[in-house]
Amino acid sequence: MNWQMWYQHAPYDWFSRFGMIYPAVWIFVFFWVFAMGACFGSFLNVCIWRIPRKESLSKTASHCTTCGTAIRWFDNLPIISYLILQGKCRHCRTPYSPSYFFVELTCAVLFVLTVLKSGLLKQYIGIIPFQLSAIFFTLGCALIDVKHRIIPDKMSFSAIAIGLLFTLLMPQAWGADSRLSALLIAVISGVIPAGILALFILTCQLLWKRTVIGWGDVKLLLAIGIFLGLPGGIFVLLCGAFTGCIYGLAAIRKWNGVVPFAPFLTFGTLLWIFFSKYILDAYYKFCISW
């Protein structure tokens, strides 16, 4: 293999290259990815608490929501501090919700699995930031939606902005050779699934004068399409609609007729990130058999 070939394959074959030459490097890399995931999970906890309450994300430092004592940096380490303090405030001993710990751990584990999966499947290295952002934002929106029955614009618009920024930085992730065409593909990938959902909502409002799904879900789906691409966006829409309908019919009383849709979009997003290869294979096989 000549140098040019080596260089061309490097963004796809990065996992086995480094893994075979320096196995110890991977232990360090995965530890780092796990720690980064835990930090993002910790920040997501702040977003989940503050954004629906219209509190600033940056103005005040982390504090105990019961006694108001500021949490010092060594008590604010993701995952570790929760275990050391056994999930309680150091000052007033009020127990914190275990959901803080689980959000941090979930983010950390999903981040590691995403990098591992992309490496093993020889996916382009530039798609990893898109997929990690998709996990961060859909997970956050799902938890806010379940608790507060809204998907804040701050979350969905930030997600869209970050997706477009990554597109400009890494147009190759879209198989495009110019930034402009990558941007165009990204916008189309978001607008088509979001547009289908918007049409569905408008139809429901016209025919039955009912809002079954909120506009926040449309904005979130737009972001998901930008993170995952058009096939991913369509899959998440179909998967969300299918699982959401089944759950909605079973539990409509609990939610007074309006079921939070974001958790089902999140479920579809995770399925796509980890199993898109198998979903696409099954789809092609299905097409050929017909």
Interface ranges with Zn ion (CB under 5 A): 64, 66-67, 89, 91-92
Query: Least distance (Å) from Zn ion to the CB of residue 24?
Result: 42
The Cα–Cα gap between 248 and 81 comes to 38
Taking the least distance from each CB to Zn ion, the nearer of 34 and 96 is 96
**CA proximity to 145, closest of 264, 277, 283, 225:** 264
Least distance between Zn ion and beta carbon 93 (Å): 7
Minimum gap (Å) between residue 91 Cβ and Zn ion: 5
Shortest reach from residue 70's CB to Zn ion, in Å? 10
25 vs 61 by CB, closer to Zn ion: 61
Minimum CB distance to Zn ion smaller for 16 or for 65: 65
Closer to Zn ion by CB, 66 or 211: give it: 66
- For residue 95, list its beta bridge partners: 88
What does residue 150 show for φ and ψ, rounded to 5 degrees?
-140, 155
Please give the C-alpha separations between residue 197 and each of 30, 131, 216, 235, 240, in angstroms, as whole numbers.
37, 22, 11, 12, 11
Which residue number, 70 or 169, has a Cβ lying nearer to Zn ion?
A: 70
Encoded tokens for 63:
């504090």
CB of 67 to Zn ion, least distance (A): 3
Number of other residues whose CB lies within 10 A of the CB of residue 178? 9
* DSSP output for 86-112: TTB-TTT-PBPPHHHHHHHHHHHHHHH
